[in-house]
Structure formats: structure tokens, C-alpha cells
A and B are shown apart, each in its own frame.
With several copies, the nearest count.
Chain A
């Protein structure tokens, strides 16, 4: 497969395909974790596909994102190659990070992906600095920072938001409020109903959006992009959504009430978009084709990944430092 194009006004069918690619990728990743082909952890983006796909559909290729521990969806939506993603998360040489990073650290700056970050909220200040750097370079590229409801309570996010406001940085903060942080509901980690209101405390707009509605996500992002590119500063978008799977493939105890899960399953973003397409006249079969296409793309990615060589253990100590005059092996302590 080739990486999905993210330019221009993608059709709804294209958006559905991207959402399905994410879902199919995560389903396979969870299986590969069970098969012990993936180590560490996998945090599936299942149920939240409309957020990343909607946001990234509004971006230009030269815009940037930063991502989280739950980052596969952001990568796919930003147009990364499923093959190299899969190779990374099973730890092979053709992976985006040559097997060094794994699931939580996919980085592809050439495609506007500044990096996934396994430190909750950790990448928020990076996004601000990247935006400021782009401004200095005379570029109007925007940086989107994805983070979770749990991440919203980290100090670094506060610092990043305030700094972004002061610098009028071209940043969009996207809070993926999926109601839970591992076993802790958002209602237990804050006393407020909408994280978006915190934007007022920094002096920029905060918007609540339906994170299961890909068109709404694209629309709110477009508005925020206009603001950002005009130099008017950041926007905080709170996308209300839910993760349909457990926190991670390794999760043992899941506290989410069955009714809550069922209610959100009924609002599955893929289901909703499919239904909408059918209502607008698209053939049921075409929907099936899209799913099949996505699954085939992922199967191809797995095949590619499994055929990719394992990294050479002898190279494990390389790339700690960038090349430099001093960087000759015997000087490295």
C-alpha cells in the first residue's frame, strides 16, 4: 500500500477508509501482542478514530502533530506508512525507528509526525516550541498536540498552554477525552465537566466537540487552523469520545460499566459514518469494500513487517549522539 494522502478535502469515503485502517491496524496489533510478537504494550485507538482522522484531514502535509502512548491512530491519520509502523511495533529494522522506539515512540518528522510520547502530556511543550521554531523559519505550518483527559492534569500541559498563549504560537491542543485514564474516570481526576474551559484561563478559545463525529472534528480543526495561521494563537479542542477497548492489550482489570461501554459502542464512529454514507446513498457493499481494503492494507503491513530483519544487536549503542567532531568511539564515556 502507499500512504494515504491527507491533502485537500478528502471525501467521506476516504475518511472512512482511514478510520478503518486505524481500526484494522489496532485489531491486528492486539493479536500480535497476544502472540508475543509485540513486546511492552499496545494502547488501541479503537473507538476514537474520528478524532485523529478528522483533525488530520484538516491539516496540510507540512503541518505537524505530536502524539501519545495511544499513538497509532494519529500516525495513520497523518499518513504514515502502515508497513513501517507495523515493522516498528514488532521491533524490526524497517520500522520508523529501526525497532528502537516501539509502539509508544513512532517518529516520522518527514511526514510531520514529531513523535509519540510515552510520558503523559510530555509532548505538549514540544509542540509549542516546534510551532515557535516554524514561525522563526517563516513557515505557517501548525502543530497539533494530542493528549488525553488524564494528561490534562499534568503540570507541563499548563506550562505549555500558557507559553503558547504568550507566544501566540500556532498550536492546536486536542484533548481526547475518552472518559478514562487507565482505571481512573475523568470525573474522579477533576471537578469540572469540560476540560475545554481551562482555555479561558490562558486567554484562548476552548471548544467542545463530538469526538465521534469525523466531520465535526474536521470542521473545528479548520477553524482553529485559520486562527493559528493568522497568528492569533492557540485553540483548545476537547473531543468527547471513548475507547472501546481496554486501556491496553495488557490490561487485566477493566472497571468500565457494561452499560457505559454499550452506550458508546452504539456511537462507534465507524458505525456512525458508515450509516451516514449508506443514508446518503452509498452501497452497503462499498462500505464492506472499504473495510476489506483496510484489512488488506494491514495484512500487507504485517507481512512486510515480519519479513523485515531484526535489528543488529551490535548496533544497539549507535545513534545515542548525533555525529560530531568529538563523537569518535573512544572518547565516548
Chain B
């Protein structure tokens, strides 16, 4: 059986086609998603198949779209709202956090909000300050939300399918540079379980906790370091909330060392959260201080070499790993 390869954008598109076919309550809303199939073609072909009531080119009003998604979810639909660029989530934080995330709890557990908010994280291509942010840390800090960031086409299709079927509000962030990356994707229906990390590379020396684009930085660093005899264990978290602390903890207990990679800003980022969780979970197994490899605490600049300077690079990860393996003076 030859393995079929798709881009991540195609994989996501298949997930949407599959779920819209399967469940008439699934519908998609967003800017420029119907007629042209979205700027990144993730919603391509849906309008022709499912019509304008289920595939909606919405007016530019992100908060309204998210709020409408919540309302439709409350009456039993499974809306999927696309943010053209993930930064625009800033406009929707009230509908997302004060509404989607809390409605179930505030109702005493009586209602469910099966709602997916997808968006493209667009750093790395010069889109500059207002189009390059990745804010997963905010969502992790909003009880009631599920947060997913896939790194491969396979995971993307399976996780988006799982997200749509999940009865909770899900924020699903797609790194734009990954849309065109290819990988094997089975045809038809499958899910990748939410809350389960995936070990993308086994190793014995240092655990790398990562997700989305960070996984690819880690894989590249892993190849480089293997040449020096250093074996990374790469744990692709895939979902940030819930976090698969078990898999990550087991890996850290094995290697005794942890590097966390995140493209989010450093202060208050997901990397900090993961360090704190591992401190709770596996402190005594740590042979050295966990290290965070993150974006710097700046807005994202436009010029190429500036953007590169503030975003985490493979070299930063390599340096972090080799730094923690050096014998510490006096210990």
C-alpha cells in the first residue's frame, strides 16, 4: 500500500469535508472562506458541496463570528470559525473566553459548546507586528478551552476531526509555514486523540517538549546533534490543553533533562507553563535545570534578519542542548 502524501492545508481540508459530510450540524464561517476557499485553501470546495448556509463568507467582524459560533453551538450545531490570521483572535477574546469557555461551567454543566476556532499563525514570512503572533499561552490560561497545535498533516487531519467532534470549545492554531509541508495522510475517517502527546523521535539524552513549528526545529536539531552522538527525545505535545503530562513526565524521568521549544513570546509563555508542570511532576528526576527556547519578548519585526533574530532557531535549540550537557563546574 503506497502512502498518500498531502500538504497540511489539504489534510485540514479533508477533515472539514469529512465532518461536513458526516454531520449536517457542522458549518464553517470566516472571511473569504467560501467563494475562494480561504486564503490558504483550507476550506476549498466546501461551498460547492454544502452551499452558502453552511459555508459562510462573513463580514469582517471576528468577534461577531465567534459569538455566532457559540450561539449555534448552544442550539446543537458544530460551527468551525476561521480566523484568517490568528492575531485577530485579540478581537474575539471576550466572546471566546467570557462566553465560549465559560458558558458550560456557568450553566452548572448543563450546556455544551462544541465550537472550533481555527487560525493561521503567520510568523516567518514578513507579515510583521500585527500578523505574526502566536497566543496559545492565553488560551491555556482560559479554563474551559481546549488548545491544539498540530505539526504534521497526519496529526492535523486527525486532530481537527477530533476537535470538531469534541463537545468543548477548541482553539486550533495552524502554523502558516506548515500548510505547504507534505506528509502521509490516510484517506477517510480517523481521529488523533486530544490530550495525547506523540514521541516524534526517541532518544536518551535530552527531552525536547515542542509543538507545531517547534517540532520541526527539534527534528532538525535532533539530526544535527545525533551526529555528535547526542540523542534527543522529541515529544510533540500536539494539545497544550489538556497537556499530556504523563508522556512528557515519563520522557523527562528517562532523560533527566528538558528543553521546551515555543514560538510564543518568552514571558508568560507556554514554555514557562511546561517548565512549571515538570517541576511539579518530575523535579527529582531532573539532572539539570530545564531550559526554554522561545521567541524573544518583542513584537515581531518586519525585516527578515530582525524577524529571524527574535524567533527561536535551530541553532538556539542546539546551543541549549549542548549547554545543558556540558559538565557543570563544581558539581
Contacts and interface: CB of A to CB of B under 8 A. Distances in A.
Given A255-B35, A325-B193, A101 B302 contact: yes
A81 to B, nearest CB: 14
A323 interface: yes
Nearest to B245: A333
A331 to B, nearest CB: 5
Nearest to B305: A313
B99 interface: yes
B265 to A, nearest CB: 10
Contacts of B61: 153-155, 158-159, 162-163
A321 B167 CA distance: 8
A163 B59 contact: yes
A187 to B, nearest CB: 11
B68 interface: yes
A107 B70 CA distance: 14
Given A115-B107, A331-B195, A39 B77 contact: no
Contacts of B113: 322
Nearest to A96: B108
Most A Cβ at <10 Å: residue of B54, B63, B94, B107:
B107
Contacts of B31: 181-182, 184
A269 interface: no
Nearest to A153: B59
B72 A132 contact: yes
Taking residues whose C-beta sits less than 8 angstroms from the other chain, chain A's interface range is: 35 or more
A162 B59 contact: yes
A163 B64 contact: yes
A248 B111 CA distance: 28
Interface in A287-333: 310-311, 313-327, 330-333
Interface in A160-211: 160, 162-163, 166-167, 181-184, 188-190
A50 interface: no
A126 B68 contact: yes
Most B Cβ at <10 Å: residue of A143, A255, A327:
A327
Contacts of A153: 59-61
B68 A100 contact: no
Interface stretch (B4-12, B127-135, B212-220, B316-324): B127-135
B126 A126 contact: no
Interface residues of B, number: 93
Given A97-B106, A156-B64, A323-B167, A137 B125 contact: no
A156 B25 contact: no
B254 interface: no
A105 B111 CA distance: 12
A125 B302 contact: no
A136 B53 contact: yes
Contact of B76 (A101, A135, A137, A320): A137
Interface in A64-118: 64, 66, 91-92, 95-105, 107, 109, 114-115, 117-118
Contacts of A273: none
B129 A101 contact: yes
Given A99-B303, A107-B107, A333-B241, A119 B71 contact: no
A313 B308 CA distance: 8
B176 to A, nearest CB: 12
B129 A333 contact: no
Interface of B: 24-25, 27, 31-32, 35-37, 39, 53-54, 56-61, 63-77, 79, 87-88, 91, 94-95, 98-99, 103-114, 125-131, 140, 143-144, 146, 166-168, 193-196, 239, 241-246, 266-267, 277, 296-299, 301-306, 308-310
Given A125-B65, A321-B146, 7 more contacts: A39-B125, A66-B71, A117-B130, A118-B131, A129-B68, A132-B68, A316-B309
27 contacts: A39-B303, A91-B304, A96-B108, A97-B302, A98-B108, A99-B303, A100-B129, A100-B301, A107-B108, A114-B71, A118-B130, A122-B67, A129-B73, A130-B71, A130-B74, A133-B25, A133-B71, A150-B59, A154-B61, A162-B64, A163-B59, A181-B60, A183-B32, A311-B305, A320-B144, A330-B246, A333-B267
